[in-house]
Every structure is written in structure tokens, then in C-alpha cells.
Amino acid sequence: MIGIDIGGANTKIVTDDEVIIRYCPLWKEAPIGEMLSGIEGEAAVVMSGELADCFYSKAEGIRFIVDAVLDVLPDARFYGTDGRFHTEPVPQLAAANWLASADFLKDHYPDGILLDFGSTTADIVPLSPFRELPGRTDLSRLRAGMLVYCGMLRTPVASLLQAVTIAGEETPLSTEYFAQAADAHLVLGHITPREYTVPAPDGKEATRELSLARLARSVCADTDEIGEQGAVAIAEAFWEAEKTLFRKSLERFGSKPVLAAGIGAELIHQTFGGINLNQEPGSSAEALPAYAVREVAIRDGF
């Protein structure tokens, strides 16, 4: 059994032997079929890539993804927000990846709250009572604090920060796309250059020096104008803004142990405690929805 999670920016594949995470931007017409070629057998699939703005609507995105997968894996089944598997491109397939994770985790950690910190977004999902989760859309999750649109890599710095204090002076940020979350987290040591797996805003390499320059540019400066300390201050303020969003959402659901997942699992665990699912045997937390939908399919006899 293969588990597949097709997002707008990344596709994750979990097999018996390996976990594969590939940058696959659907808005740039990334070839899903080519990426899945060579994979055989039964597959359980979740998606969130239907929201990519290359599609006129979610329905169009769902049809595109389902058709692309079935061309390569004709026996694939698709998990929906109704908690069921489907073979047709039905509306319930939109953004069901978080529910697959909850469906898998609910029996193992019934009192926990999942915080899956990915490249683009964070899913914050209380696992109990599970019966209240099916049927939720991204819109309803945004309103409920269960979907927080900030990530470890792709979030524009200026989308969360309006101003930052540099050398004691409040400094507004340009709203140009000069720096992103990956620059802040690289500068702060949360990720390595190798883990900077998305294109940089300026198209240049992933190095600490260049990330400092991109952060400085977000206040219309060069690094020599504000110094390394000034650029680091921007990175620190950005991470504080992300943590504030997470705390606000977590507080809405009461005191529950946090289950940290996603590429930012270790950082979330260090910040909020709880359980780092990356340290749990066989959880494949960096690709949790792909692993989870696979396990749910096996559990349900698919």
C-alpha cells in the first residue's frame, strides 16, 4: 500500500520502504504523472493542491489531480473530508489531508492536539471529539483557528510583519516579496541550507549570507546598512509572529498535549513541548498525511 499527499507545492509519498518529499508546484504545471511513474500497486491519496491558483475552481483542481493519479495508478482511492474513500472527483476530496492525519492519530493520542507545521501552512487539530471534524473545509478551519497560513519555508516575511524594531527604531517593512520564512529560519538555525528546499525570492542560493541580505532588503536596506544584527532582528520578529499565531489557536482548544509533526516538528516540540511524532516509531511525521492515509486504508481494509 502506498500513501500519497498531493499539495500545491509539495507531493509526499510513503511506501513500505521509504518516504519521498518532492517540490512539485502545481501552479507551474508540475507533472504529477511523471513524478508518480514507476510506482505500482494500490494507493491511498489525499490532496490540498486543488487550491492552487492555476485552477479556476477547487472542482477543476480535484478533477485534474484525480485524473493525473488514475492515469498512473488506476486502483487508487481518494480520502475525503467525509472520512471515506472515493474513486471519483467529488467535492469532499478538497483539502482532506489534515483529516486523514487526525483519523489515524485519534486512536493513539485521543487527548492530543496535532500541530503539523509544514512548508506553507500549519494544521492545528484537536483529536477529540473526532466526530466534530469531518465535513470541515479550509474556510471553516481558517475561521476556527485550525488552519494557520504560515509555514517553515514559503510564507512571505512581510505577510506577518508590518514593522520591526531595528537598533531601537521602529522600521516598517516593504510589502515586496523580498524574503520568506525559509530565510528567517535559516538565519536562526532552525533549518540548514539543504533543508531550504524551495526557490528563494531572488532566485539565488540558500546560504546564511544571502538569507541575511534578503531579510535586509525587506526593509529596503543592504546588510551593511542595518548589520547582521538588524537582519537577525527581522528573522526573530517573524518567528515570534508565527509563535503568536500558534499560541492563539492552541489556546482556543484548551490545555492538550501537542503532537508535533511536519518539517517543523522539532521546532514545534522545542517551543510547545508535548510529543514529537518524528521520534515515534514508524510515524513518518514529516509526511504525516501520506503516512496516515496509508494506515487508515490498511486499517479499514481498503
* 138's grid cell: 479550509
Do 11 and 32 meet the contact criterion of CB atoms below 8 Å apart? Answer: yes
Give per-residue pLDDT as tens, 65-95. 999 999 999 999 999 999 999 999 999 999 9
pLDDT band, residue 37 (cuts 50/70/90):
confident
Domain hosting 290: range is 2-99+281-299
Tally of domains in the chain:
2
Mean pLDDT of the chain: 94
Comparing 167-181, 208-222, 226-240, 281-295, the range with the smallest average pLDDT is: 281-295
118 vs 23, higher pLDDT: 118
Share of the chain above pLDDT 90, in %: 82
pLDDT band, residue 283 (cuts 50/70/90):
low
Across the range 257-268, mean pLDDT stands at 95
pLDDT band, residue 30 (cuts 50/70/90):
confident
Q: Distance between CA atoms of 302 and 270, rounded to whole angstroms?
A: 37
Say if 162 falls within a structural domain: yes
Do 89 and 55 meet the contact criterion of CB atoms below 8 Å apart? Answer: no
Say if 69 falls within a structural domain: yes
Q: 244, 266, 289: which is the final residue of a domain?
A: 244
Say if 259 falls within a structural domain: no
Which residues does 46 contact at the CB level (< 8 Å), separation at least 6? 4, 5, 6, 78, 79, 96, 97, 100, 289, 290, 293
The tally of CA atoms less than 13 A away on the side-chain side of residue 251 is: 6
> What's the pLDDT at 284?
78
Long-range Cβ contacts of 263-270 (<8 Å, 24+ apart) = 263/117, 263/118, 263/119, 263/152, 263/153, 263/195, 264/117, 264/118, 264/122, 264/151, 264/152, 264/190, 265/117, 267/117, 267/152, 267/185, 267/190, 268/115, 268/117
Are 91 and 163 in a shared domain? no
The tally of CA atoms less than 13 A away on the side-chain side of residue 23 is: 10
